Amino acid sequence: MDLLLYLPARATKPAPFLLNLSFSANSNTVDDPGVRVGAVWGPDKKKIPASQGRRFGKIDVVRLLDAGFGFGTIYYGDIDPDFAGGLPYGVRAQFPEPKADEWGTIAAWAWGLSRAMDYLETDKGVDSKRVAILGVSRLGKTVMWAGAHDTRFAMVIASCSGEGGAALSRRNYGETIAHLTAPTRFPYQFCANYGKFAEHVDRLPVDAHMLVALMAPRPVLLQTGDKDFWSDPKGEFLAAVAAGPVYRLLGKQGLDVDQMPAAGTAIFHTVGYYMHSGGHGTIPSDWDQYLKFLQMHLRVPEAE
């Protein structure tokens, strides 16, 4: 796994840090000619140069550094490939074959984030008590799972995580368990038992509000788009609201509203919710909100 790491040059103390899980190699994720060209999974289950792979936009690292935050990014395919039949090519091949209640690729990617955290705890330039994680779409699901499993992560920012992430399964709206676990789609991303609830969502013993609540008392921001109906922004909002009692129990503030905010209006407590005007994924203006939420909860006080 190739971890690209930046730290603020003017920092006099360990810096708070944002760790990003990316759909592309590091060389495609940042605008830095000094980063070596990575490799990504291409057709026929083979690696190809990142320059030939898909691009998903660059992250403005300098803006984060100027705000006093370190930044790191990892290509998710370095951990486990994102295709059916990928088990022999990723980290899970080093372990016994998963049983029906054991990890799929999302759990493997989350495990990889924890291994990156192992390293960050050794880096004297990083404040390992203030590390946030960020992921979009299926990687939004991943950071939710990583945050639930590993309390060393101080914050989770999940973009458009949808079904299997922050959206309530029992709404059966947009993308559903049946969609995710259909043989031609993404059953490999989850434990095999997940598919048993495809047609029986009412029997699912958990739901997304419990996943959100597992972050408590740590901050969590759910970001989505008001037109991203496939990911169900209302289902994510309702899950955030329903996680509130756990946050209050632990002395923190949940979302504490009962009406969905309009697009462009952020609700930032310990639980945060924000919709941009538009569809799936992250747009440049979302980074304004990410930075506000990071500064609200993880900023180094000036006295330090």
Q: Taking residues 29-40, what's their average pLDDT?
A: 95
Active site residues: 137, 280
Handedness of CA 22, 157, 61, 121 (dihedral sign): negative
Mean pLDDT of 147-173: 97
pLDDT at 303: 41
Query: What pLDDT, on a 0 to 100 scale, did the predictor assign at position 304?
Result: 44
Q: What is the pLDDT of residue 300?
A: 67
pLDDT of residue 56: 82
- Out of 3.40.50.1820, 3.40.47.10, 3.20.20.70, 3.40.50.300, which CATH number does the structure's domain 4-298 have? 3.40.50.1820
Mean predicted confidence (pLDDT) in 214-228: 98
Whether residue 235 is predicted with pLDDT greater than 50 in this model: the reply is: yes
**CA dihedral sign, ordered 70, 24, 83, 204:** positive
Q: What is the pLDDT of residues 39-56, one digit of tens each?
A: 999 988 999 999 888 878
Q: In whole angstroms, how far apart are CA 252 and each of 215, 216, 217, 218, 249?
A: 12, 8, 6, 9, 7
CA quadruple 221, 126, 19, 111: dihedral sign: negative
Residue 57: pLDDT band by 50, 70, 90 thresholds?
confident
Average pLDDT over residues 262-266: 97
7 contact partners, CB below 8 Å, separation of at least 6: 15, 65, 70, 125, 126
Q: Mean of the per-residue pLDDT values for the chain?
A: 96
Instruction: Report the pLDDT averaged over residues 10-19.
Output: 96
**What pLDDT shows up at residue 153?**
98
Q: Which of 9-13, 16-20, 247-251, 292-296 has the lowest mean pLDDT?
A: 9-13
- Dig out the tokens for 269 from the structure: 């407590």
- pLDDT tens digits, 70-125: 999 999 999 999 999 999 999 999 999 999 999 999 999 999 999 999 999 999 99
| Pair 98, 131: CB distance under 8 Å | no
CA 208, distance to chain mean position in Å, is 14
Structure tokens at 247: 């946050």
Answer whether residue 301 shows pLDDT above 70.
Answer: no
pLDDT > 70: percent of the chain: 98
Indicate whether 200 pLDDT > 80: yes
Q: What token pair was written down for 274?
A: 């924000």
**pLDDT band at residue 302 using 50, 70 and 90 as cut-offs:** low
Q: How far is CA 228 from CA 53, 63, 240, 288, in A?
A: 25, 27, 17, 20
